[in-house]
Structure 1
Amino acid sequence: MTFSIVGFDPKTKELGIATQSKFLGVGAVVPWAVAGVGAVATQSYANTSYGPNGLDLMASGKSAQETLDILTSNDDQKEFRQAGIVDANGNSATFTGEKCYDWAGGIAGENFAAQGNILVSEETVQAMASTFQETEGSLAERLLAALDAGQAAGGDSRGMQSAALLVVKEKGGYGGYNDRFIDLRVDDHPDPIKDLLRIYQLQQLYFAPTKEENILEITGEVQNELTTHLKRLGYLIDDNLFKALTTYIHTENFEAREQAEGKIDRDILEYMKNQA
């Protein structure tokens, strides 16, 4: 009932999984990852122990294929399982048990493993694999593009319900306290991949670092626009523009994009313009 893609970016060392299923809350079952270790997707009558056990095996030095071989050899229900694994060296492996419902299968290549079951056809997995390999951008963007392409190629034959994206990176989590770089879930939605793409853009807006070219001086037309929108939104009351901007930024949780006094991130100004 699920298709997924597991990937690794050798430049950033990010590891991640994107998945979609006709299943409630797929993000709570399929994706598992630890920075510097590996990533696992476990699905089709999912044995969720494949996640932590697989990560422990890779942490001990096992490759993706060795890990998958050990997991399946210890599972007397392996023919009902499907899994994809990528380790922190970009080695990959995929497994589809003989009792998974058609169409079921996977493709493993350099830095990725794509797999699915109960699919319209094998074109879903082929589309994920080729799109991941051909797409430029961050690991998250490549995983999402691959997932979207898989759905466009047919996807789950039973339909859509939930989708998830998990990307880990050393000290990539909020405040640098953990490795959960991106952890987004759409648990129940008629078009979960599109909604996942939407909330990914919000995640980038809130937490991605400001681009140097997007730092604007609050003067001239920028100052006029900022004043207009802060008044419209009810923040500019006492004519203290910078105080009002600080209040707005902290209210909207844009601290990661806050600039020195007298400057503003273009993306914050654009977001402000579009607010009702």
Structure 2
Amino acid sequence: MTFSIVGRSADGAALGVAVASKFLGVGAAVPAALADVGALATQSYANLAYRPQGLALLSSGVPAGFAVKALIAGDDGPVGHRQVGVVGVSGEGATFTGDDCHPWAGGTAGDGYAIQGNMLAGPAVVGDMESAWLGSASESRLAYRLVAALRAGDQAGGDRRGRQSAALLVVAKGLGYGGTGDVLVDLRVDDHPDPVAELSRLLTMHTLYFERPDPALLMPLIGPLETEVRQRLNDLGHQDADLDEALASWAGIENLEMRLVPGSIDPLVLAHLRAA
């Protein structure tokens, strides 16, 4: 009833899950992740206890494959209907599909990833997800790699019952909002006719609002650019002799404070200001 990918960034710093399903609020049930520990997806008659149990196993230092075997061995429920994927901070990912999962059902795993799905349009869903994941190795942002793989699965037919929800969870130590937490991205589309596309849109918005700017792209606030920015801020009611203060006043209202660097302006912030 669901297809998902659990993955680790190339540098090992980030871990996450992307999932889609013809199921209301799939993000409330399937994904779990803990920075510097691992990530997992539980689905197909999901056993939600797998989430804390799996992370506890990974935190003890066991590999993903052992964690999966332990979860299945300790499950006194309908194991034949279970499906789970696990990735740790290093090594191979692992996936399990019970013999009684609704067809088509199956999965694949490799270094730093596990992909699985059930009640799918066919094996191409998992195959195309794996190809998209492996083909995006140059993308350093784990969230974008996960969503690209999810999009490939969706385009291959995804859940054969249709579309309803999708979710993305990515963690990395100290890289959450303001550096005060570990949740880098936590986005959910609970009920939507095209949830994977909507998840992609939300991720783009998340990048604008919550990611820090690329230092190489920052534009010094001098000369004509300083004059333009000051005038636009004045027109919007943010007047201050200190241009950084005026910009911060406006950016705080627009939720763009994460992209502020004194003496410079991020191109995305400038585009937002020009459109205001």
TM-score, with structure 1 as normaliser: 0.92
Distance between the aligned counterparts of 1:237 and 1:94, measured in 2?
A: 57
- Equivalent position of 1:70 in the other structure: 70
Query: Quick one: which amino acid aligns to residue 226 of structure 2?
Result: Q
Q: Does 1:165 align with 2:173?
A: no
- Equivalent position of 2:57 in the other structure: 57
- Equivalent position of 2:110 in the other structure: 109
Distance between the aligned counterparts of 2:221 and 2:177, measured in 1?
A: 28
Distance between the aligned counterparts of 1:175 and 1:230, measured in 2?
A: 25
Q: Does 1:15 align with 2:15?
A: yes
Greater mean deviation of Cα atoms: 5-14 or 109-118: 5-14
- Equivalent position of 2:188 in the other structure: 185
Query: Quick one: which amino acid aligns to residue 33 of structure 1?
Result: A
Alignment of 1:19-30 (within 5 A): 19-30=19-30
Q: Which runs of 5+ in 1 are unaligned?
A: none
In the TM superposition, residue 267 of structure 1 has moved relative to its aligned partner by 1.2
Q: Does 1:247 align with 2:249?
A: yes
Aligned residues: 273
1:209-253 residue CA offsets vs partner (Å, 9 max, x unmatched): 211222212234423442454355x22467875543221111112
Match of 1:20, SS state, is strand
Query: Quick one: which amino acid aligns to residue 88 of structure 1?
Result: V
- Equivalent position of 1:124 in the other structure: 125
Greater mean deviation of Cα atoms: 238-247 or 109-118: 238-247
Match of 1:157, SS state, is coil
1:135-175 residue CA offsets vs partner (Å, 9 max, x unmatched): 12121111111000111111111111111111111112223
Distance between the aligned counterparts of 2:242 and 2:170, measured in 1?
A: 40
1:7-38 residue CA offsets vs partner (Å, 9 max, x unmatched): 11241421111001111111111111111111
Q: Does 1:154 align with 2:141?
A: no
Distance between the aligned counterparts of 1:56 and 1:172, measured in 2?
A: 22
Match of 2:58, SS state, is helix
Contact 1:124 1:150 in 2 (8 A): yes
In the TM superposition, residue 178 of structure 1 has moved relative to its aligned partner by 2.5
In the TM superposition, residue 266 of structure 1 has moved relative to its aligned partner by 1.5
* Identical columns (%): 46
Distance between the aligned counterparts of 1:258 and 1:107, measured in 2?
A: 42
Query: Quick one: which amino acid aligns to residue 40 of structure 1?
Result: L
CA-based RMSD:
1.8
Query: Quick one: which amino acid aligns to residue 124 of structure 1?
Result: V
Greater mean deviation of Cα atoms: 207-216 or 114-123: 207-216
1:206 to 195, 209, 213: 209
Contact 2:12 2:89 in 1 (8 A): no
Distance between the aligned counterparts of 1:211 and 1:179, measured in 2?
A: 20
Distance between the aligned counterparts of 2:245 and 2:212, measured in 1?
A: 22
Closer, same or farther: CA 218–149 of 1 in aligned 2, 3 Å: same
Q: Which runs of 5+ in 2 are unaligned?
A: none
Distance between the aligned counterparts of 1:132 and 1:87, measured in 2?
A: 17
Match of 1:36, SS state, is coil
Query: Quick one: which amino acid aligns to residue 158 of structure 1?
Result: R
